[in-house]
């Protein structure tokens, strides 16, 4: 996966190294951090475009994020797309969880899935919640899942 910052600057380091550098830098500046990981997608014809974000929240001091965009060419059902989003977020969370534990940084995995049963994305809520919680991560869904429903949504 290729990662970049919001301003478009490419992250050339492996993502785990870039995250560690960010944690060390922010900690040295006296910031308390929380990391939220989320993925969103959009269908454009036969292509599904995904964006995964790693959001670093500084307690009461704003935040910043790392972004990865990628595409998949094939038709997917809504449920499959939602579970694919969650799987990508869990994959990144799993790759970073030891590092975040080492630096005592809280982690949340955000799913762009509505808790209201009147919305179509709700069809994947139970599977997504079970997957994320089963992996031992803190789970957030809409309206609390800003990493996926706001941050990732804006960079697709």
Instruction: Provide the whole-model pTM.
Output: 0.94
pLDDT above 90 for 134 = yes
Q: How confident is the model at residue 117 (pLDDT cuts 50, 70, 90)?
A: confident
| Average pLDDT of the chain, as a whole number | 94
Average pLDDT over residues 56-68: 96
Domains and CATH numbers, the chain: 3-154 (3.30.420)
| pLDDT for residue 79 | 87
Query: Distance between CA atoms of 66 and 54, rounded to whole angstroms?
Result: 5
Average pLDDT over residues 41-54: 95
Question: What tokens does 139 get?
Answer: 């789970």
| pLDDT for residue 70 | 95
| pLDDT for residue 34 | 98
Average pLDDT over residues 49-57: 98
| pLDDT for residue 124 | 85
- Encode pLDDT of 1-30 as tens digits: 899 999 999 999 999 999 999 999 999 999
pLDDT above 80 for 147 = yes
């Amino acid at each position: 996966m290729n990662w970049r910052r919001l301003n478009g600057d490419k992250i050339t380091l492996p993502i785990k190294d870039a995250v560690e550098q960010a944690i060390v830098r922010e900690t040295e500046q006296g910031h308390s951090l929380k990391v939220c990981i989320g993925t969103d997608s959009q269908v454009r014809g036969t292509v599904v475009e995904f964006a995964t974000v790693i959001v670093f929240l500084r307690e009461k001091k704003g935040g910043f994020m790392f972004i990865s965009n990628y595409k998949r060419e094939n038709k997917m059902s809504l449920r499959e797309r939602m579970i694919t989003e969650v799987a990508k977020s869990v994959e990144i969370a799993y790759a970073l969880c030891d590092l975040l534990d080492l630096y005592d940084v809280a982690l949340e995995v955000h799913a762009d899935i509505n808790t209201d049963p009147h919305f179509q994305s709700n069809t994947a809520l139970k599977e997504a919640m079970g997957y994320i919680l089963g992996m031992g991560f803190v789970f957030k869904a809409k309206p609390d899942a800003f990493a996926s429903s706001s941050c990732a949504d804006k960079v697709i």
